[in-house]
Amino acid sequence: MDLCNVKEIKALLDRHGFRFSKSMGQNFLIAPWVPRQTAEASGAAKGVGVLEIGPGIGPLTAQLASLGEKVVSVELDRSLLPVLAETMGAYDNVEIVPGDIMKVDIGALCREKFPGMPVVVCANLPYNITTPVITALLEAECFESITVMIQREVAQRICAAPGTGEYGAFTVLCQYYADSELLYDVPPSCFYPAPKVTSSVIRMQVRREPPAFVPDKDLFFRVVRAAFGQRRKTLLNGLSTMMGKTVEKERLREVIRSCDLTESIRGERLSFAEFAQLSRKLGEIQGR
């Protein structure tokens, strides 16, 4: 069965009485090069486990199964389970797990399904859960890499440089955990039904350590959130709001200047290294 052939897809879905769900953001791939190229970019190989999220009818799953040792695909829509039983029936290294990835203990799932194996993620993520899913995958800290197809706008945010309109707190969070690269765009014509936006495939190579020394992770992310909380606020005012009465504003001025930054600078201008330095200095004056 050609899982990227529209005629065969329609026949398959009709046979199982499947109806698309708008709330789940279901768009199935119909361009064979996309699942093939995405699987090849993912790092799937013999001896490597692959976690997939939202397999749909399985075109990417099949490509991953041909490369990886074992593929575990988490599917929320139970009406797709009989479809996947048919399309993935020939692959003995594919396991479909019914469930919501946002409610799954990702670390426990990987330990159970991929004992002793390095694990990568490869998925065509639904647009409506992209940010929380990527955050959960990164925070699980159990993957070698994460290769996902997402809305281009989000891909640009993840890979953004300081000082650009796309750069934000989510960019910095992703930088903490991974080195991200935008690989290629996927136009709407590659899907059935066609979405209204262009997609992009990104690869996130997970880091062993953040790109700059961060002794207090919680404080670091508090500083980042404060800096981006209100973009029109200066860094000084954002930090002052965060610290409240615990640190005087004049002391915050001194800390910012000690990082070779001006007090009027806005958070979106700071690099990861500058956020790290700033959080270290704030930790020092708080005795952390």
Mean residue pLDDT of the chain comes to 94
Report the Cα 204 to chain-centroid distance in Å.
8
The topology (CATH level 3) of 6-206 is Rossmann fold (3.40.50)
For the stretch 196-233, pLDDT in tens is 999 999 999 999 999 999 999 999 999 999 999 877 78
Distance CA 199, CA 154 (A): 9
% of the chain with per-residue pLDDT over 70: 99
Structure confidence at residue 287 as a pLDDT band (50, 70, 90) = low
271: left (phi over 0), alpha (psi -120 to 50) or beta: beta
Provide the pLDDT for residue 288: 54
Can you tell me the mean pLDDT for 150-175? Answer: 96
Provide the pLDDT for residue 47: 98
Provide the pLDDT for residue 205: 98
Residue 105, pLDDT above cutoff 80: yes
% of the chain with per-residue pLDDT over 90: 88
Give residues with Cβ within 8 angstroms of 147, minimum separation 6.
38, 41, 42, 43, 120, 121, 122, 123, 183, 201, 202, 203, 204
Residue ranges, comma separated, of all CATH 1.10.8.100 domains in the chain are 217-285
Residue 11, pLDDT above cutoff 90: yes
CB of 238 closer than 8 Å to CB of 227:
yes
Residue ranges, comma separated, of all CATH 3.40.50.150 domains in the chain are 6-206
Structure confidence at residue 261 as a pLDDT band (50, 70, 90) = very high
Q: Which two tokens stand for residue 13?
A: 């879905």
For the stretch 65-84, pLDDT in tens is 999 999 999 999 999 999 99
Structure confidence at residue 24 as a pLDDT band (50, 70, 90) = confident
Comparison of pLDDT for 270 and 231, the residue scoring more: 270
The topology (CATH level 3) of 217-285 is Helicase, Ruva Protein; domain 3 (1.10.8)
Provide the pLDDT for residue 124: 96
Of 7-16, 39-48, 208-217, 260-269, the poorest mean pLDDT is in 260-269
